[in-house]
């Protein structure tokens, strides 16, 4: 891409502004990260329909939005009604920056450190640079490149070797403002034979209009267990695009669940590398859409070692004119013998105008594997409705019970009971507010 065309790609001017600001605040080393991200972004360009992984998600309206960089805010009220209600240490980001006044680190246990660029440790700086350069490459990932170009702060969560963290850590990312954009960056480092649960709530203040471009990098060391659970519950006019890159070493375990409920446009992409022998990952989720919401879930599981296991289960409910996208791929290297991989996406459409695009894929280069995938689309079963009606349950309540039971099946995939209970409350509220008052809109 030549310099003239590079200057015309969305958000290019803002990346220059970020780099100048970071030079004042953090120095040369972060400016170098911004520069590399900007270079890659200029090379790759803005996502478009010619890119296979962006075939079903059109970002043209977002590209034309007159957005400005989010400014640091002194104080906001967290919209608690949109946040997961859990008993946990609270790490709050406002417009992509750590806010220590709103955070509560008192429940962060021994053996866990939480830092940002203001108090980054030298080994974390090295790790940051290493992951940018090698472990989690941004080449070919345009939104990740844009995040690197725009990053102005990051949160590092590091769990020491052997540390078993009793209570989860709750990251609350809050967007506040109109016609703004920001780029949160999270690092989760689970040391050897450690165990930790990280829960995220991505929310925004009422009527805020923004674009959040979030990148999370997770490293699960040998024998470690990391639970990673996320609620995306942004305001209805906002856009949320996120990439999570995961690397799992030998005998490590990564358990993930993403619930996408909010925003006009959202995409959650998870890319997991099963790098070590006998490692496993579970990447599950639910998506609930109404109105004209567009919800994209994209996954890429790479089996690079023997005896790895992966499981993906997604379930969605779409009403009115909502559109869902599921793209999932399991890639098995030639040396990854005895791989066990499973992938399934199921969608329930509650109107004639709701839509789902499913694209499950397998790419296998080993001969001793057990891998399968599938996708189904359906409506509420009239037979099940009749069964409940015959037992004196009115039509609206019968539909509600069936939809809630459908969603509950995938919520049971989450291994964190704390998250499962909290997300059940949020999804039940969403279903009542968005579907059951006017169940079918044809």
Tell me: pLDDT of 134 over 60. no
Compute CA distances 56 → 51, 143, 211, 289, 363, whole Å: 10, 16, 19, 16, 20
Tell me: pLDDT of 89 over 80. yes
Tell me: pLDDT of 411 over 70. yes
Cα(201)–Cα(329) distance, integer angstroms: 26
Question: 2 pLDDT band (50/70/90 cuts)?
Answer: very low
Gyration radius of the chain over CA positions:
21
This prediction's pTM: 0.93
CA angle centred on 314, ends 308 and 317, rounded to 5°: 180
Tell me: pLDDT of 397 over 60. yes
The residues near 39 (Cβ < 8 Å, ≥ 6 apart) are none
Polymer length in residues for the chain: 442
Q: Following DSSP, what letter does each residue of 198-231 receive, concatenated?
A: EEEEEEE-TT-EEEEEEEEEEEE-TT-EEEEEEE
Compute CA distances 257 → 133, 158, 297, 316, 410, whole Å: 27, 20, 11, 13, 9
Among 12-26, 38-52, 82-96, where is mean pLDDT lowest? 12-26
Residue 35 phi, psi dihedral angles, 5° rounding: -65, -40
Q: Is 11 left (phi over 0), alpha (psi -120 to 50) or beta?
A: left
The pLDDT score that the predictor gives to residue 133 is: 54
The pLDDT score that the predictor gives to residue 139 is: 57
């Amino acid at each position: 891409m030549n310099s003239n065309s590079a200057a015309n790609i969305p958000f290019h001017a803002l990346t220059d502004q970020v780099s100048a600001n970071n030079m004042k605040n953090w120095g040369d080393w972060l400016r170098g990260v911004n520069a590399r991200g900007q270079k890659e972004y200029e090379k790759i360009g803005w996502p478009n329909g010619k890119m296979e992984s962006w075939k079903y998600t059109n970002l043209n309206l977002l590209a034309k939005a007159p957005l400005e960089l989010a400014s640091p805010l002194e104080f906001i009220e967290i919209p608690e009604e949109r946040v997961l209600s859990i008993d946990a240490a609270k790490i709050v980001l406002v417009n992509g920056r750590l806010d220590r006044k709103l955070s509560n680190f008192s429940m962060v246990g021994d053996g866990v450190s939480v830092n940002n660029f203001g108090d980054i440790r030298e080994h974390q700086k090295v790790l940051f640079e290493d992951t940018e350069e090698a472990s989690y490459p941004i080449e070919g990932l345009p939104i990740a490149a844009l995040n690197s170009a725009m990053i102005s702060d990051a949160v590092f969560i590091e769990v020491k070797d052997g540390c078993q963290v009793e209570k989860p850590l709750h990251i609350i990312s809050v967007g506040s403002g109109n016609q703004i954009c920001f780029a949160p960056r999270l690092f989760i480092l689970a040391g050897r034979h450690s165990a930790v649960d990280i829960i995220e709530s991505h929310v925004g203040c009422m009527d805020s209009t923004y674009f959040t471009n979030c990148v999370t990098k997770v490293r699960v060391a040998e024998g470690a267990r990391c639970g990673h659970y996320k609620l995306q519950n942004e305001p209805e006019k906002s856009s949320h695009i996120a990439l999570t890159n995961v690397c799992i070493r030998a005998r490590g375990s990564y358990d993930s669940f993403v619930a996408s409920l909010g925003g006009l446009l959202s995409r959650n992409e998870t890319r997991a590398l099963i790098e070590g022998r006998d490692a496993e990952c579970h990447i599950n989720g639910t998506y609930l859409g109404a109105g004209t919401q567009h919800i994209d879930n994209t996954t890429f599981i790479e089996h690079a070692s023997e005896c790895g296991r992966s499981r993906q289960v997604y379930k969605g409910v779409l009403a009115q004119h909502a559109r869902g996208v599921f793209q999932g791929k399991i890639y098995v290297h030639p040396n990854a013998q005895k791989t066990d991989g499973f992938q399934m996406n199921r969608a329930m459409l509650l109107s004639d105008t709701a839509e789902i695009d499913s694209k499950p894929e397998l790419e296998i280069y080993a001969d001793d594997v057990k891998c399968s995938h599938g996708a189904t689309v359906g409506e509420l079963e009239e037979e099940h409705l009749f069964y409940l009606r015959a037992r004196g349950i009115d039509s609206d309540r019968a539909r509600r019970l069936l939809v809630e039971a459908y969603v509950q099946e995938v919520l049971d995939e989450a291994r964190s009971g704390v998250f499962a209970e909290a997300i059940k409350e949020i999804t039940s509220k969403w279903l009542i507010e968005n579907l059951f008052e006017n169940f079918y809109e044809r």
